[in-house]
């Protein structure tokens, strides 16, 4: 018998050994069989429902939202009982899955807490995710009519005093275990493995569009340009309202999507580079390497929005901004140094920067200006 035949026999024997299933010592481990009496779900679920704040802290979801989601998915999650054992209820499946999503704990930790097999928990989480995704289109979708887009814009104008804004966009890295044979595809600039969620939201933080699953190494701008949202905007296939004036007798201004510096200004020519975002009149602007060569560009649209923020009054809640407590100090400083710009004139525009900060969409130049102002407003 030569070496090749011996190697072939060893390979066949090895495959046969792998196929042989390991015999279980117990059909159900006693630790798991005591689930109905000692499991966290049966001990904690009823008590948490008595305290809405505790329930929200545990599941990151209100009781009303939990019940609504449960009623939506109950039929798909419910299995038939057998003569050998009762099936896991839809409530427990959803409760375990939400705890996993909220805490990011390991499956073994859930195994010891809920007394469910770790393979069973893995199956439950996959099942719940699959069922929820079936109803995605009922709750997440771009506005289908011009009136729907206009409602989104009115929401931003009412809540944030930001006119002609039809969405806030950003990306989020979600940690994953490195998939096999992927090299550095999922390794991001934060030095961990992830996939990216790109989302467009309205003023009430409701998702209008999501794109999930991109490689962690991909930038937000690259993901955005490969998305269906970008293609629809470029092809003008979305019923976005036509440009109209911000104020009476003003120039027509198109509708915009707000984002951070990763998302380039769109209505512009190739080769243009704009260093700043919304500016405040009276501050020395940064030098632009490329000048506007005429025509309708994103720079002119940005300047029109900046003029609007300067001239319009702030929202009532912005009067509580800490900057207003320093107006007297500012007036004193202004009298001492005439070169220091008039804060009373530009206070509304500076307050509007807090909307950008709140959404996490802030350009580095705006951030530097806010740091400068907050550092100097309280000084004599």
- In the chain, where are the structural domains located? 26-136, 146-234, 274-376
The pLDDT-based confidence of 136 (bands split at 50, 70, 90) is confident
* Residue 332 reports pLDDT greater than 50: no
Lowest-pLDDT choice from 96-110, 192-206, 366-380: 366-380
pLDDT at 1: 63
pTM: 0.61
Average pLDDT over residues 301-310: 67
CB 153 within 8 A of CB 163: yes
- Please report the sign of the dihedral spanned by the C-alpha atoms of residue 24, residue 26, residue 31, residue 33: positive
323 vs 170: which has the higher pLDDT? 170
* Residue 168 reports pLDDT greater than 70: yes
* Residue 78 reports pLDDT greater than 50: yes
Average pLDDT over residues 108-136: 92
CB 139 within 8 A of CB 330: no
* Residue 270 reports pLDDT greater than 50: no
pLDDT winner (highest mean) among 17-26, 203-212, 271-280, 347-356:
203-212
49 vs 302: which has the higher pLDDT? 49
pLDDT at 317: 52
Query: What are the structure tokens assigned to 249, written together?
Result: 């007798």
Long-range contacts of 210-213 (CB under 8 A, 24+ apart): 210/140
* Residue 356 reports pLDDT greater than 50: no
Q: Which residues contact 380 (CB under 8 A, 6 or more apart)?
A: 329, 332, 333
pLDDT at 319: 56
* Residue 360 reports pLDDT greater than 80: no
Average pLDDT over residues 128-156: 91
Lowest-pLDDT choice from 251-255, 286-290, 358-362: 358-362
* Residue 58 reports pLDDT greater than 90: yes
Please give the share of the chain, as a percent, with pLDDT higher than 90: 42
Please give the share of the chain, as a percent, with pLDDT higher than 70: 67
* Residue 165 reports pLDDT greater than 60: yes
The pLDDT-based confidence of 251 (bands split at 50, 70, 90) is confident
Q: Phi and psi (nearest 5°) for 244? A: -150, 165
pLDDT at 248: 80
202 vs 322: which has the higher pLDDT? 202
Lowest-pLDDT choice from 12-16, 179-183, 359-363: 359-363
> For all residues of the chain together, what is the average pLDDT?
76
The pLDDT-based confidence of 16 (bands split at 50, 70, 90) is confident
pLDDT at 201: 94
pLDDT at 288: 46
């Amino acid at each position: 018998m030569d070496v090749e035949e011996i190697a072939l026999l060893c390979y066949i024997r090895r495959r046969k050994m792998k196929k042989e299933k390991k015999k279980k010592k117990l059909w159900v481990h006693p630790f798991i069989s005591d689930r109905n009496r000692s499991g966290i779900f049966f001990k904690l679920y009823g008590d948490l429902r008595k305290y809405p704040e505790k329930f929200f802290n545990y599941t990151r979801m209100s009781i009303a939202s939990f019940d609504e989601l449960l009623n939506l998915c109950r039929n798909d999650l419910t299995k038939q009982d057998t003569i050998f054992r009762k099936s896991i209820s839809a409530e427990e499946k959803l409760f375990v899955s939400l705890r996993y999503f909220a805490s990011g704990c390991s499956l073994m930790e859930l195994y010891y807490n809920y007394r469910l097999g770790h393979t069973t928990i893995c199956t439950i989480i996959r099942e719940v995710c699959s069922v929820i995704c079936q109803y995605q289109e009922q709750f997440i979708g771009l506005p289908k009519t011009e009136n729907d887009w206009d409602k989104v814009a009115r929401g931003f104008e009412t809540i944030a005093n930001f006119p002609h804004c039809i969405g806030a966009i950003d990306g989020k890295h979600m940690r994953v275990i490195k998939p096999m044979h992927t090299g550095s595809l999922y390794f991001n600039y934060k030095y961990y493995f992830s996939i990216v969620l790109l989302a467009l939201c309205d003023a009430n933080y409701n998702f209008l569009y999501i794109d999930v699953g991109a490689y962690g190494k991909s930038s937000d701008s690259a993901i955005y340009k490969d998305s269906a949202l970008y293609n629809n905007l470029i092809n003008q296939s979305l019923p976005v309202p036509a440009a109209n004036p911000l104020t009476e007798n003003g120039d027509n201004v198109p509708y915009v999507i707000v984002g951070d510096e990763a998302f380039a200004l769109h209505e512009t020519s190739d080769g243009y580079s704009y260093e700043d975002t919304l500016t405040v009149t009276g501050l020395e602007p940064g030098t632009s390497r490329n000048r506007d060569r005429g025509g309708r560009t994103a720079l002119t649209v940005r300047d029109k929005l900046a003029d609007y923020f300067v001239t319009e009054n702030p929202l009532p809640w912005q009067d509580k901004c800490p900057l207003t407590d320093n107006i007297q100090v500012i007036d004193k400083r202004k009298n001492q140094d005439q070169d220091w710009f008039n804060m009373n004139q530009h206070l509304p525009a500076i307050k509007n920067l807090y909307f950008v900060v709140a959404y996490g969409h802030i350009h580095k130049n705006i951030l530097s200006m806010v740091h400068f102002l907050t550092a100097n407003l309280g000084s004599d």
